[in-house]
Structure 1
Amino acid sequence: MGNRKQPFGYKMSLGEIVIQESEAKLVQEVFRRYIAGESLNELTEALRQQDVPYDEGRLWNKNMIARILADTRYTGERGYPKLIDKEQLIAANEKRSNKPQLPKKTEAQKVLRRLCGTPLSERVEQSVTDLLNGLANCPERIQHQRSSTPATHSKTQEALNDTLAQQPIDEDSAKVLILRLAAEQYAALGNEEYETNRLRRLFSAFECVAELNADLLKSTVSEVLVTRQNVKLRLKNGQVIERSDLQ
């Protein structure tokens, strides 16, 4: 309740709970306008434009309004002066309980949202489902992406060649360069070939479905690339797949 010691609309006077007129008028207005069709957001914005705060130093928010709409004391319960009729309280709470709930996202949709990095749409979800089904029908379309030799590889090789060409050979420098070259060559190999074989096995065992499959999505796709014209999948082996690749 913040700084409040009594519900909004009331105050203590000579040891008794009495109506606080300016606040009580807002309580009645909140019920009237909410029942008439205004939303909590609209009421919040309207109450922020007037001079009566719910709590000193705090802006009105939806929680404050919801607290008012749910408080049975405004109907005269527990010794509080009556501000509204019970019918108004019932009508307000029926409207709140009948508020349509947004459908919860499925696990697959949550995964897809993380992979996209943008808000979801039915078009994107359906496109990704179609691409996964297409790969299940044609797992041979998953190809090993050979990495190009990094620029640092040739520089290290050149440095090693220069060192070996100088007499006498600086064995310590040569060993350092050989180890560096081996590390670069190993890094250049990556794990794309292993991932390609793994992906083929996964898609070969997968049966096409109408709805997006969360487990398959998590285990095969590293990124979903969305443009106005197209939706593409970047697979775990680095390969980018679009609809034209599966035709």
Structure 2
Amino acid sequence: MGSNRKRPFGYKMEFGEVVLHPAEAETVRWIYDSYLAGASYNALVDKLRERDVPYDVDKPWNKNMAARILADRRYTGEAGYPSIIPEGQFHMTQVRRQERASPCKKTPAQKELRKLCGGSPPAWVEQRVLGLLNRLIQHPELITCPVIEDEPMPEAKKLRRELDGLLHRPPVDEAQAKNLAFRLAALQLDAIGPEEYETRRLRRLFQGRAPMAELEQELLHESVRRITVSNGTVTVLLKNNQTLEGGKNA
């Protein structure tokens, strides 16, 4: 006998009235109970196909059928239909459906973290990175340059000797002294490598900040080049090429 799906699953006509279809009504209750217990649409469909209660003749259960049942308020007794599930259970089901339909929104910092990791990191990584950066906020002197060029350039040495000699031969030619000082400063500025420049910039960035309660996107973006996670260890590569490490259980 064909099925008339103009009526909701779980009901049948008897002597001109809508009444419960016992086997189908029991299946409706099972669907609601299972969904609230954590079953996905796919899991529901797999189990429903094993039950000897088809949704429609010659039509196997699918996710749309299960979703339609979970969204139908008539199962609470509305519109003249006998009640199959309590109003409270229907309401909880709609809340759960909304939660699953709306993925958890990521904060700007979490999006930045995902970008730096090259994908979604394990949940513990966020707190470990937070701890590493907060340590730098509390101790910015820990930000060090991996490679520092200590030996001045020959031209800078020459200018330094000329300036020292000029300053020790009174009367001092102020115009010439200023010219030498400016040239020396320009050479010293040019001699600063990218790592040393970034180290100084990072120290200024971290100094005077209050420890973070949660990661801040701006600080992540301005200070971190890359984050890798391997064997329970997170490695943070700062923009001066300094690395920081923290374990999952640290």
TM over 0.5: yes
* Runs of 5+ unmatched residues, structure 1: 148-188
Cα displacement (A) at 1:5: 7.8
Secondary structure of 1:242's aligned partner: strand
Residue pair 1:108, 1:214 contacting (<8 A) in 2 also: yes
Q: 2-side partners of 1:54 and 1:195: how far apart? A: 68
Q: What letter matches 1:213 in structure 2?
A: E
TM-score calculated relative to the size of structure 1 = 0.55
CA displacement, residues 23-49 of structure 1 (integer Å, 9 cap, x when unaligned):
x84454122452476544242321244
Deviates more, 1:109-118 or 1:219-228: 109-118
Pairing 1:198-237 to 2, within 5 Å after superposition: 198-237=201-240
Cα displacement (A) at 1:233: 0.7
Pairing 1:7-22 to 2, within 5 Å after superposition: 8-9=8-9
Cα displacement (A) at 1:106: 3.6
**1:121 equivalent in structure 2:** 123
Closer, same or farther: CA 109–48 of 1 in aligned 2, 3 Å = farther
Please report the RMSD computed on the Cα atoms of aligned residues, expressed in angstroms: 4.5
CA displacement, residues 119-150 of structure 1 (integer Å, 9 cap, x when unaligned):
3323x223211211222233333334459xxx
Task: Return structure 1 stretches of 4+ with deviation > 6 angstroms.
Answer: 16-19, 54-58
Cα displacement (A) at 1:70: 2.6
Cα displacement (A) at 1:204: 1.6
Secondary structure of 1:85's aligned partner: coil
TM-score calculated relative to the size of structure 2 = 0.55
Cα displacement (A) at 1:225: 2.2
Q: 1-side partners of 2:7 and 2:194: how far apart? A: 64
Q: 1-side partners of 2:28 and 2:242: how far apart? A: 57
- Work out whether 1:6 is the aligned partner of 2:3: no
**2:47 equivalent in structure 1:** 46
Deviates more, 1:127-136 or 1:197-206: 197-206
Closer, same or farther: CA 75–208 of 1 in aligned 2, 3 Å = closer
Closer, same or farther: CA 91–239 of 1 in aligned 2, 3 Å = same
Pairing 1:1-247 to 2, within 5 Å after superposition: 6=6, 8-9=8-9, 25-26=23-24, 28-35=26-33, 38-41=37-40, 42-49=43-50, 52=54, 60-61=62-63, 64-74=65-75, 78=79, 82=81, 84-85=82-83, 88-97=85-94, 99=96, 105-116=106-117, 117-122=119-124, 124-146=125-147, 191-242=194-245
Closer, same or farther: CA 222–56 of 1 in aligned 2, 3 Å = farther
Aligned identity (percent) is 37
Cα displacement (A) at 1:241: 1.9
Q: What letter matches 2:89 in structure 1?
A: A
Q: 1-side partners of 2:57 and 2:142: how far apart? A: 64
Residue pair 1:113, 1:120 contacting (<8 A) in 2 also: no
Closer, same or farther: CA 75–97 of 1 in aligned 2, 3 Å = closer
Q: 1-side partners of 2:95 and 2:107: how far apart? A: 23
Of structures 1 and 2, the larger Rg is shown by: 2
Q: 1-side partners of 2:211 and 2:235: how far apart? A: 18
User: Size of the alignment, in residue pairs?
Assistant: 189
Deviates more, 1:215-224 or 1:63-72: 63-72
Closer, same or farther: CA 196–6 of 1 in aligned 2, 3 Å = farther
Closer, same or farther: CA 58–45 of 1 in aligned 2, 3 Å = closer
